C-alpha cells in the first residue's frame, strides 16, 4: 500500500503553514488552514479573484482565461486552478486578501448613523419580556411522607411560586434531574421557553442547581452572504454585551447566492457549505463568551436571521429550487431546531429560532429589518431598501406591506468592475476631481495607497465625474476634454484614478466605460424595482414619507451622490434613515421580546411578494433607468437643477 505524500504549504503574509496531500487543490488547502482568499466563482476559474504568487516550490496550474501574459510570467496563479506538487510558499497579494479589521470599522461620521437597539424603549412599549426566562425555586426536600417524584415536585413548585401550569419538557432533562435537584438541597433554577406559538404551554428546557438567574444570556446571529455577525445578549439586564463578525467562509465557493446554490448541488457541496457557516457561528460564539468570561452553559437560546438561501444552507436543506422557476423555497417558517443537531457548540437545551422568510429572494434578514426598524408599526408610508447583489425592497406601513427583490448584480460590492473590491483597507471610497484639470484627489479606507474601488466609492466617483461634466448621460466619457486622465483602454475609454507607481497593485487603477455600464445596470435595476413596486400598489415615489436604508452598504453610502446617479429617489435628505444591520437588529429584538418573536411570522405573512421579472412594465422601467440619472428627468428635479447650475446639462 502506497501512502499519500504529504507536502507543506506556507501562506504569506499570514505565515500560516499547513500540511496537505500532494495534489490537493490550493484553494481547498487555504480553506483548511483558515486562510481566506477572495474567490467568487466557486472554483470555476473565471472570476480571477483568487490570485496568489508562487514564491517557491511547484504548483500544477491551469492558466485562467482572465490572466494576462504579464501576470503569468510574474508567478501569479489562480488558487482554485492549482494543485500542490511540492513543498511550497505562496503569497496572497493585497487584492486577494480579506482584511478582518474592516469588520470593526465604524462608518464615517458624515454618513447616516444606524438606528440603535433600545431596551428602555422596549420596556416602555411593554414588549421587554424574553421568551426564555429563568425561575429560581426553593423546593421542600422529599420525606417518607412526601416522596413524590422529582419532576412532580418541580412542577408543583413552579405552579405554587409562579402560577405556571401545564408545563411540557424535553426528555433529556430527566436523566440529570435527580442529581441537579439534590446538588444544592432542592434549590434550583428552571429555564422556561415561552415561545411555543401553537401550544402556548411553557416548555422546561433546563434545570440548574442553585440560583443562576443572574447568568442568563442569548446569542443573536446574522448570516449574511459576505459576513456572519453575532451579538451576546444579557437577558437579565437587557444589554448587548458585545458584537463580533467574521467573513462568511462560504465565500470561497461563490460570492453570490446563485453560485452557492450551484455548488451545493455538487457531491458533498451542501454538507461542506453547511459545515463552513456552522464553523463561523461557533467561532463567533466562542470569542464572544471568552471575551466576557462566560460559560457556554450560560447561553439559553440563539436567534438567527438570514436570507432564504443562507437559511437553507445553514440548516442543511437543499436550496436548488430557489433559483428555478417558479422559485419556491423548501421552507419559509422554520420550526425551532436543537442547536447541537446542526453542529453548534452549545448546550443540549439550546434551540435555534430562525426568522421567517417571505419568498426565495425576500428572506428572514428583510423580515428582521422590518421588525427591528419598527416599520411594521408605523403609519408613515415607508420604503425599506437593502442594497446588495440581490436588492430587496419593501413598501408599506402598519396596515399593509408589499415586497420584491431585484437582481442588481455584484457591482455595489465591487464585482463586475475591473478594479472593484470590497470595502476593505486600500479601497478608494471618495474622490474629488478638479473640473478644469481633471486631476483627482483620492481618499482610501485606512488612508493607504489604493488597490481598488469599493461600491460606495464607485457611486462617489461616478457622481463626481457627472458633476465635473466628464460624462455624458449615456455613461460615455466626453471626447473633448484636455486631460491625459481620460484615454483609450482595453475596454474602451477610461479615467485614470491612480497611476501604477501610486498604487499597491503596480497597475494603473482606472474606471472604464464598461465599469460604468455595469454600475448603471445595477442602479437601474434598483430604481426600476422601486417604481414598479410602488406603481403595482397604485403609488408613486412622491407619496413616500420615509426611506429606510439597511445593510452594510448603507453605512458608507453618500445619500446625495446616490441620488445624483439615480440609485435612490430624489427626495429630501431628512426623509432618509439608516437602520444599520437590520438583520442583526431584528434577531436581537426577538431575543429580548417574546411578543416580537411571535410577531415576526405575522410580519412575514403581511408582505405581499411581487416577482418583478413577471410584473408588467418592469423591463421598460429598467431600460428607462439606464441613464444618468434617468431618461425621465422629472424624477430627479434637484439633480437636474444642480447640474444645470454647474453648466453640466
Q: Which of 412, 381, 383 is nearest to 565 (CA)?
A: 412
Kindly report, residue by residue over 539-587, the tens digit of the pLDDT: 999 999 999 999 877 667 899 999 999 999 999 999 999 888 899 999 9
What pLDDT was estimated at residue 388? 75
Kindly report the backbone phi and psi dihedral angles of residue 471, in degrees, each rounded to the nearest multiple of 5, phi listed first.
-125, 140
Residues 6+ positions from 565 with CB-CB distance below 8 Å = 459, 462, 463, 466, 519, 520, 523, 628, 629
Model confidence, pTM: 0.84
CATH of 366-410+520-645, one of 2.60.40, 1.20.1070, 3.40.50, 3.30.420: 3.30.420
Cβ 557 vs Cβ 456: under 8 Å: yes
Within the chain, which residue ranges are assigned CATH 3.10.20.30? 6-97
Q: Identify any residues that bridge with 444 across adjacent strands, giving them in sequence order.
A: 428
d(CA 450, CA 435): 22
d(CA 447, CA 426): 7
What pLDDT was estimated at residue 109? 37
Residue 380 pLDDT > 60? yes
CATH topology of domain 217-354: Nucleotidyltransferase; domain 5 (3.30.420)
Give residue 616's pLDDT band: very low, low, confident or very high (50, 70, 90): confident
Domain 6-97 class in CATH: alpha beta
d(CA 455, CA 309): 23
d(CA 369, CA 384): 9
Average pLDDT over residues 214-225: 94
Q: At what angle do helices 257-264 and 308-315 cross, to 10 degrees?
A: 30
Average pLDDT value over all residues in the chain? 88
> Hey, what's the cell of 241?
454585551
Kindly report, residue by residue over 432-455, the tens digit of the pLDDT: 888 888 899 998 988 889 999 988
What pLDDT was estimated at residue 44? 66
Most confident of 92-96, 242-246, 400-404, 614-618: 400-404
d(CA 591, CA 131): 7
Residue with cell 429589518: 369
Burial state string for 328-355 with b = 16 or more CB within 10 A and e = fewer than 16: ebeebebebbbbeebebbbbebbbbbbb
CATH topology of domain 132-209: Ubiquitin-like (UB roll) (3.10.20)
What pLDDT was estimated at residue 112? 47
Q: Which of 102, 113, 104 is nearest to 446 (CA)?
A: 102
Q: What percentage of the chain has pLDDT greater than the value 70?
A: 92
Within the chain, which residue ranges are assigned CATH 3.30.420.480? 217-354
What pLDDT was estimated at residue 643? 86
Cβ 312 vs Cβ 319: under 8 Å: yes
Residue 108 pLDDT > 50? no
Average pLDDT over residues 512-534: 94
What pLDDT was estimated at residue 286? 96
CA distances from residue 334 to 225, 329, 345, 357 in whole angstroms, order as listed: 19, 11, 20, 9
Kindly report, residue by residue over 135-192, the tens digit of the pLDDT: 999 999 999 999 999 999 999 999 999 999 888 888 889 999 999 999 999 999 999 9
Cβ 92 vs Cβ 52: under 8 Å: yes
CB hemisphere CA count around 172 (13 angstroms): 7
Which tops the pLDDT comparison, 400 or 71?
A: 400
Cβ 607 vs Cβ 401: under 8 Å: yes
Q: Is the dihedral of CA 248, 252, 257, 261 positive or negative?
A: negative
DSSP string, 428-462: EEEEEE-TTT--EEEEETTSS---EE-HHHHHHHH
Kindly report the backbone phi and psi dihedral angles of residue 222, in degrees, each rounded to the nearest multiple of 5, phi listed first.
-115, 115
Residue 29 pLDDT > 50? yes
Kindly report, residue by residue over 314-333, the tens digit of the pLDDT: 999 999 999 998 899 999 99
Within the chain, which residue ranges are assigned CATH 3.10.20.880? 132-209
d(CA 146, CA 155): 15
Amino acid at each position: 500500500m502506497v501512502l499519500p505524500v504529504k507536502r507543506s504549504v506556507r501562506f504569506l503574509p499570514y505565515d500560516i503553514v499547513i500540511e496537505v496531500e500532494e495534489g490537493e487543490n490550493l484553494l481547498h488547502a487555504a480553506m483548511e488552514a483558515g486562510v481566506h482568499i477572495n474567490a467568487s466563482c466557486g472554483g470555476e476559474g473565471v472570476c480571477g479573484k483568487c490570485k496568489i504568487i508562487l514564491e517557491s516550490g511547484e504548483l500544477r496550474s491551469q492558466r485562467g482565461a482572465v490572466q494576462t501574459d504579464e501576470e503569468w510570467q510574474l508567478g501569479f496563479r489562480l488558487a482554485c486552478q492549482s494543485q500542490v506538487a511540492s513543498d511550497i510558499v505562496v503569497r496572497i497579494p493585497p487584492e486577494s486578501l480579506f482584511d478582518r479589521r474592516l469588520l470593526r470599522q465604524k462608518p464615517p461620521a458624515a454618513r447616516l448613523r444606524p438606528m440603535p437597539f433600545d431596551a428602555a424603549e422596549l420596556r416602555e412599549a411593554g414588549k421587554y419580556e424574553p421568551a426564555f426566562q429563568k425561575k429560581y425555586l426553593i423546593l421542600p426536600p422529599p420525606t417518607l411522607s412526601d416522596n413524590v417524584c422529582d419532576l412532580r415536585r418541580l412542577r408543583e413548585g413552579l405552579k405554587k411560586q409562579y402560577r405556571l401550569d401545564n408545563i411540557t419538557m424535553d426528555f433529556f432533562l430527566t436523566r440529570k434531574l435527580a442529581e441537579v435537584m439534590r446538588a444544592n438541597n432542592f434549590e434550583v433554577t428552571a429555564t422556561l421557553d415561552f415561545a411555543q406559538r401553537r401550544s402556548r404551554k411553557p416548555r422546561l428546557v433546563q434545570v440548574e442547581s442553585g440560583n443562576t438567574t443572574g447568568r442568563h444570556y442569548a446569542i443573536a446571529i446574522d448570516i449574511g452572504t459576505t459576513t456572519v455577525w453575532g451579538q451576546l445578549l444579557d437577558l437579565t439586564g437587557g444589554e448587548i454585551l458585545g458584537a463580533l463578525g467574521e467573513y462568511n467562509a462560504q465565500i470561497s465557493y461563490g460570492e453570490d447566492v446563485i453560485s452557492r446554490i450551484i455548488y451545493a448541488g455538487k457531491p458533498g457541496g451542501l454538507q461542506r457549505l453547511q459545515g463552513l457557516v456552522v464553523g463561523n457561528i461557533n467561532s463567533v460564539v466562542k470569542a464572544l463568551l471568552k471575551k466576557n468570561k462566560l460559560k457556554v452553559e450560560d447561553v439559553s437560546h440563539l436567534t438567527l436571521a438570514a436570507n432564504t438561501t443562507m437559511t437553507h444552507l445553514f440548516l442543511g436543506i437543499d436550496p436548488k429550487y430557489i433559483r428555478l422557476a417558479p422559485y419556491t423555497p423548501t421552507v419559509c417558517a422554520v420550526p425551532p431546531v436543537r442547536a447541537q443537531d446542526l453542529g453548534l457548540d452549545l448546550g443540549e437545551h439550546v434551540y435555534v429560532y430562525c426568522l421567517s422568510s417571505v419568498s426565495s429572494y425576500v428572506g428572514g434578514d428583510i423580515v428582521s429589518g422590518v421588525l427591528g426598524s419598527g416599520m411594521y408599526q408605523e403609519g408613515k408610508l415607508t420604503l425599506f431598501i437593502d442594497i446588495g447583489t440581490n436588492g430587496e425592497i419593501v413598501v408599506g406601513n402598519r396596515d399593509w406591506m408589499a415586497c420584491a427583490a431585484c437582481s442588481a448584480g455584484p457591482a455595489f460590492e465591487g464585482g463586475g468592475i475591473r478594479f472593484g473590491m470590497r470595502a476593505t483597507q486600500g479601497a478608494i471610497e471618495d474622490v474629488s476631481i478638479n473640473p478644469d484639470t481633471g486631476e483627482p484627489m483620492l481618499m482610501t479606507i485606512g488612508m493607504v495607497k489604493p488597490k481598488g474601488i469599493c461600491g460606495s466609492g464607485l457611486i462617489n466617483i461616478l457622481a463626481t465625474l457627472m458633476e465635473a461634466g466628464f460624462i455624458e448621460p449615456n455613461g460615455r466619457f466626453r471626447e473633448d476634454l484636455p486631460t491625459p486622465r481620460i484615454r483609450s483602454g482595453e475596454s474602451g475609454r477610461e479615467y485614470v484614478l491612480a497611476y501604477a507607481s501610486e498604487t499597491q497593485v503596480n497597475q494603473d487603477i482606472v474606471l472604464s466605460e464598461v465599469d460604468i455600464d455595469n454600475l448603471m445596470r445595477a442602479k437601474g435595476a434598483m430604481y426600476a424595482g422601486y417604481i414598479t413596486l410602488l406603481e403595482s400598489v397604485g403609488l408613486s415615489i412622491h407619496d413616500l414619507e420615509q426611506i429606510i436604508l439597511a445593510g452594510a452598504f448603507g453605512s458608507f453610502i453618500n445619500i446625495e451622490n446616490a441620488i445624483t446617479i439615480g440609485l435612490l429617489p430624489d427626495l429630501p435628505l431628512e426623509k432618509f434613515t439608516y437602520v444599520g444591520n437590520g438583520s442583526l437588529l431584528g434577531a436581537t429584538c426577538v431575543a429580548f421580546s417574546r411578543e416580537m418573536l411571535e410577531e415576526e411570522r405575522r410580519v412575514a405573512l403581511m408582505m405581499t411578494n411581487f416577482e418583478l421579472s413577471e410584473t408588467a412594465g418592469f423591463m421598460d422601467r429598467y431600460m428607462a433607468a439606464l441613464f444618468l440619472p434617468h431618461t425621465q428627468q422629472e424624477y430627479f428635479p434637484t439633480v437636474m437643477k444642480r447640474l444645470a447650475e454647474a453648466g453640466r446639462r
